[in-house]
Amino acid sequence: MSMQIYAAQAETAPDNAGFADPEKVLRTIFPVAETGFDPAATRDLYSNVVNEVIFERLFSYDYLASPARIVPETAEKLPEISEDGKTYLIRLKKNIYFTPDEMFQGKKRELTMDDYAYSLKRLMDPKIASSHRWLLEGKILGLDACTEKAKKTGKFDYDAKIPGLEVVDKYTLRIRLTRPDFNLPMILAYTATSAVAREVIEKYQDLQGQVMGNPVGTGPYRLTEWVRGSKIVLEANRNYRPVFWDAEPGKDPADQQIVRAMKGKRIPQIGKVIVHVILEDQSRLLAFQKDESDLFQLYGGLAPQVLKDGKLKPEFQKKGIQLSRIIDPELTIYYWNMQDPVFGGLSKEKIALRRAVAMAHRVEDEIRIVDNGEAVPLEFPIPPGVVGHDPDYRSSIQYDPVAANALLDKFGYKKGKDGYRNLPDGQPFEIHYTTQTESRGHLQAEVWKKTYDSVGIRMQADFRPFAEILKAEKQCQLTQRISPWMADYPDGDNFMQLFYGKNIHMNNNGCMEIPEYDRLYEASQQLPAGPERDLLYHKMARILEVYAPQRIGYARYRNMLAQPRVIGYKKHPIMHVEWPFIDIDKNK
């Protein structure tokens, strides 16, 4: 892989009393390589971690509130919503400025509502092919018509008047919806809806309209060095407006200690963040143990070396190491590509094939072997901590290898002399199971090889780099993969949309299109959270079990380790990153 280095231009720092100390440096680690820093185009979690501190959204989340609570970020206050729930009036804070860039010709470039309107339009530009298009599709008056016109003309008209995106003045945006969307404030708190400057995009965009290598935002940090797939350096944005730490503590007693340590401090306190990309689990842990990293995510494969019964081992406690542990609002599924000629389709024998494999896989074994028990099996598509989760739901797909083999026998998948099954027409077949090249991927492949062997199906492991997997997956080119999804926002809609037919090539990684499911999903979007919507979600979950385009897997524990010098850290369930809200004790 070729190495590219990005260096930001210098900027003049205004008087910033109490602002980020350049000598306070936070060192952290990504387990996979980033892909780039364009909010509309970025699809992976770790690139969005960086996006979240460079760019800003209209809304964000309170750092400590539990359950998660929306608060203004660049917006002056929470939106004014009409009685029918279809019109949102949002007012912007004044005197927010982008970091300097040559496109601004030495002038201070203020953030305006034109920037947010432009940024939302970019999500719908067919040329950019944003995987986040589903956030707005079919929701904003006139926006889809612009997209359809762009498909015909080859160019999105960013100057066209869109009734649903009315810039009333520099600081006021009126959004008109085609139907009520009770999650709109959460959508406007998601990284993809961050504000970018049009002139910057038009200057640096590639042929696809993306700007992955020159992020210019209004957030608390700016990118100053980038060695692709190796190192990312961020420095505090010296032009960042005065923002002060003011979070509401949740029920956790430890929150009070964080409040005492951080309340009233100017954001951010840390002057520099250095991210190293380290692919191997053991190498990441070693870097943390050698005090080469301040903040580190402990994946399940390493957990027994550090934790016992979910708590730090005594030797780590003695060193003052801190642990923040939550069940991630995450759904990991195992999908089969519904466009695959062997495993896809809705005919009875294809359904039987997928259901049999789903019943042959023991999720608890995978959790034990791959994650050392650091995950919880799920039966419902909506995980804990997310509105719509049902802890009492029981899936009709349960581990039963005897029934799985009987089902394959019944539908004509007979075993040959070599002990492996053939298709009903007698032709041999095999599954290509795709996973990452790192050690975790090899463990997953071993577990799934045992699953397929247990029902007499040949399996070939297909190891690829993470970025290559994401690209192929989006084009429906993979047959099977373990696919984790972290909540963009804490509502069940964010998970049920993963299986919606119109989200193929975006978030519907299994490329499934089941009309019955799609009708129920569209009906669920008309409803607020509550029993009526929950009933639809239950019906949708049963459809997933009947057709078995995927198998529900698990949600992992997130174990974040911090060195003693880190102050105020607590893993937030929805925000990607907490760097702006923590501090460093330089004396430790």
* Long-range contact set of residues 299-302: C-beta below 8 Å, sequence gap at least 24: 299/31, 299/371, 299/374, 299/440, 299/556, 299/559, 300/367, 300/370, 300/371, 300/372, 300/373, 300/374, 300/375, 300/556, 300/557, 301/370, 301/371, 301/372, 301/439, 301/440, 301/443, 302/372
pLDDT of residue 67: 84
| 389 shares its domain with 244 | no
In which band, very low, low, confident or very high, does the pLDDT at 345 lie, cut at 50, 70 and 90? very high
| 115 shares its domain with 136 | yes
Q: What share of the chain in percent tops pLDDT 70?
A: 97
Domain CATH for 91: 3.40.190.10
Mean pLDDT, rounded, for 179-200 = 95
Give residues with Cβ within 8 angstroms of 475, minimum separation 6: 505
Structural domain includes residue 309: no
pLDDT 10s digits, 395-442: 999 999 999 999 999 999 999 999 999 999 999 999 999 999 988 899
Structural domain includes residue 105: yes
| 270 shares its domain with 371 | no
| 253 shares its domain with 179 | yes
Q: What gap in Å lies between CA 193 and CA 73, rounded to an integer? A: 12
- The mean of the pLDDT values for the chain is 94
| 399 shares its domain with 507 | yes
Structural domain includes residue 298: no
Structural domain includes residue 299: no
Structural domain includes residue 280: no
pLDDT of residue 11: 44
| 535 shares its domain with 578 | no
Domain CATH for 456: 3.10.105.10
In which band, very low, low, confident or very high, does the pLDDT at 506 lie, cut at 50, 70 and 90? confident
pLDDT of residue 300: 82
pLDDT of residue 9: 40
pLDDT 10s digits, 54-64: 999 999 999 99
Flag whether pLDDT at 2 surpasses 70. no
Which of 166-170, 254-258, 409-413 shows the lowest mean pLDDT across its residues?
254-258
Query: By the 8 A CB rule, do 14 and 239 touch?
Result: yes
Comparing 66 with 519, which gets the higher pLDDT? 519
Flag whether pLDDT at 5 surpasses 70. no
pLDDT of residue 163: 97
Q: What gap in Å lies between CA 48 and CA 236, rounded to an integer? A: 17
Flag whether pLDDT at 267 surpasses 90. yes
CA 392 to each of CA 128, 303, 387: distance values in angstroms, whole numbers, following the listed order: 41, 28, 14
What the block records as the tokens of 22 is: 């350049």
Flag whether pLDDT at 12 surpasses 70. no
pLDDT 10s digits, 75-98: 999 999 999 889 999 999 999 999
| 392 shares its domain with 448 | yes
Q: What gap in Å lies between CA 297 and CA 367, rounded to an integer? A: 17
Flag whether pLDDT at 357 surpasses 60. yes
Residue with tokens 């990293």: 293
Flag whether pLDDT at 7 surpasses 50. no
Indicate the pairing of strand 270-277 with strand 21-30. Answer: parallel
pLDDT of residue 15: 56
Flag whether pLDDT at 389 surpasses 90. yes
What are the strands, taking DSSP E only, across 4-47? 5-7, 21-30
pLDDT 10s digits, 200-227: 999 999 999 999 999 999 999 999 999 9
Total residues belonging to the chain:
588
The boundaries of the domain holding residue 415 are 330-555
φ/ψ region of 99 (left if φ > 0, alpha if ψ in -120 to 50, else beta) reads beta
Number of domains comprising the chain: 2
Positive or negative torsion for Cα 245, 251, 255, 257: positive
Pick the closest to residue 36 from 150, 130, 136 (CA basis).
Answer: 130
Give residues with Cβ within 8 angstroms of 168, minimum separation 6: 89, 113, 174
| 510 shares its domain with 576 | no
DSSP 60-124: EE-SS-SS--EEESSBSSSPEE-TTS-EEEEEBPSS-BPPP-GGGTTS--B--HHHHHHHHHHTT
Give the chain's largest Cα–Cα span: 79
Flag whether pLDDT at 329 surpasses 60. yes
| 179 shares its domain with 220 | yes
Mean pLDDT, rounded, for 24-32 = 96
Q: What gap in Å lies between CA 584 and CA 588, rounded to an integer? A: 9
Structural domain includes residue 111: yes
| 545 shares its domain with 574 | no
Flag whether pLDDT at 6 surpasses 90. no
C-alpha R_g of the chain: 24
pLDDT 10s digits, 493-503: 999 999 999 99
In which band, very low, low, confident or very high, does the pLDDT at 118 lie, cut at 50, 70 and 90? very high
| 256 shares its domain with 377 | no
φ and ψ at residue 541, rounded to 5 degrees: -65, -40
pLDDT of residue 4: 40
Q: What gap in Å lies between CA 564 and CA 584, rounded to an integer? A: 9
Structural domain includes residue 12: no
Structural domain includes residue 491: yes
Q: What share of the chain in percent tops pLDDT 90?
A: 88
Query: By the 8 A CB rule, do 54 and 42 touch?
Result: no
pLDDT of residue 13: 44
| 117 shares its domain with 163 | yes
Pick the closest to residue 398 from 551, 556, 536, 555 (CA basis).
Answer: 551
Find residue 558's DSSP bridge partners.
326
Flag whether pLDDT at 513 surpasses 50. yes
Mean pLDDT, rounded, for 96-109 = 96
Mean pLDDT, rounded, for 124-132 = 95
pLDDT of residue 36: 95
